[in-house]
Amino acid sequence: MIVKTKVKEAKEIISAWKAEAGGSPLGFVPTMGFLHEGHLELIKTARADNAKVAVSIFVNPTQFGPNEDFESYPRDLDRDLELARMAGADLVFAPDPAEMYGPAPFVTMKAAARTDVLCGRSRPGHFDGVVTVLTKLFHIMQPDKAYFGKKDAQQVAVIKGLVDEFFFPLEIIPVETVREEDGLAKSSRNVFLTAEERLEAPKIYKSLQAGRLFSEKDHPSAEKIRAYISASLQDIKGAEIDYIEVLQYPELIPATDQSREMIAAAAVKFSGARLIDNLIWTRSEK
């Protein structure tokens, strides 16, 4: 596995691959490091689909808000490199902020839609940083396919909008959320749950599943589906509902009777962790 920290060097590797591989596909997995099972599933999926796999490890400062501490974000590059190698990465690009942004930005980007709902409502500017860094990374890595986890469905929706808006010649591949046997979405935050909370947390996904089933009965409105899920979430002991939303996907706009692609997403606060989860489905026609 090759490790590069400079844009020029990473581009040289990618150019050489594309020349010698005769157009064989390149898969790309962008991360902010501190890799977990979700990231490894993305790398493994990319490995199965492509001749070469590139991974970026970059803690992006432009997507941190004023109340989010960029400096305290967990980092362990040596561990990440070994995990990426074992999962099948051919190249890891791990630049520092100065390499990616220089002394001052010449162009800034703003995500104009899909950002004022779900987690984006409480993180103004976050997705501006996401689309900025991914525009840079897509140009550097020149991938044919880029892989993102469905657990952060809002991010996937925003990235799809970016790729469509600027006609990037690549395919966005959403990968199913990695779950525990009881349905709980795997997350580094799960270790902060108490034993009692860990027993309650799988009810988040079960409530979302119940909402999907309810959506097929008499074609209820999005508000009725949301209320149904909300009532189910009330049964989770020792937790506070941050939000529950039912929207049209990937537009993330209010769903109507004509909406077919739907997302139900929830954020639930426990004593030491805030967990998010979602379910995306295609609703049958009336």
- The answer on whether 219 is annotated among ligand-binding residues is no
Annotation says 126 is catalytic: no
Q: Please report, as a single letter, which amino acid is at residue 224.
A: K
- Residues 220-263: tens digit of each pLDDT: 999 999 999 999 999 899 999 999 999 999 999 999 988 999 99
- pLDDT at residue 216 in the model: 87
Q: Are 77 and 57 in contact (CB under 8 A)?
A: yes
- pLDDT at residue 20 in the model: 82
- pLDDT at residue 187 in the model: 86
What is the C-alpha to C-alpha distance for residues 211 and 224, in angstroms, rounded to an integer?
A: 9
Q: Are 137 and 285 in contact (CB under 8 A)?
A: no
- The answer on whether 221 is annotated among ligand-binding residues is no
- The answer on whether 33 is annotated among ligand-binding residues is yes
Catalytic entry in 39, 126, 139, 219 = 39
In which residue are the tokens 């070994």 written? 82
Delineate the domains of the chain, giving CATH numbers in brackets: 2-175 (3.40.50.620), 188-280 (3.30.1300.10)
The DSSP string of 58-90 is ---GGG--TTS-STTS---HHHHHHHHHHHT-S
- The answer on whether 34 is annotated among ligand-binding residues is yes
- The answer on whether 39 is annotated among ligand-binding residues is yes
104 CB-contact burial (10 Å; exposed 0-12 / middle 13-18 / buried 19+) = exposed
- pLDDT at residue 185 in the model: 94
What is the C-alpha to C-alpha distance for residues 28 and 163, in angstroms, rounded to an integer?
A: 14
- The answer on whether 203 is annotated among ligand-binding residues is no
Q: Are 284 and 264 in contact (CB under 8 A)?
A: no
HEC profile of 186-253: CCHHHHHCCHHHHHHCCHHHHHHHHHHHHHCCCCCCHHHHHHHHHHHHCCCCCCEEEEEEEEECCCCE
- Residues 109-148: tens digit of each pLDDT: 999 999 999 999 988 999 999 999 999 999 999 999 999 9
- Ranges of residues in the chain whose predicted pLDDT is under 50: none
- pLDDT at residue 22 in the model: 67
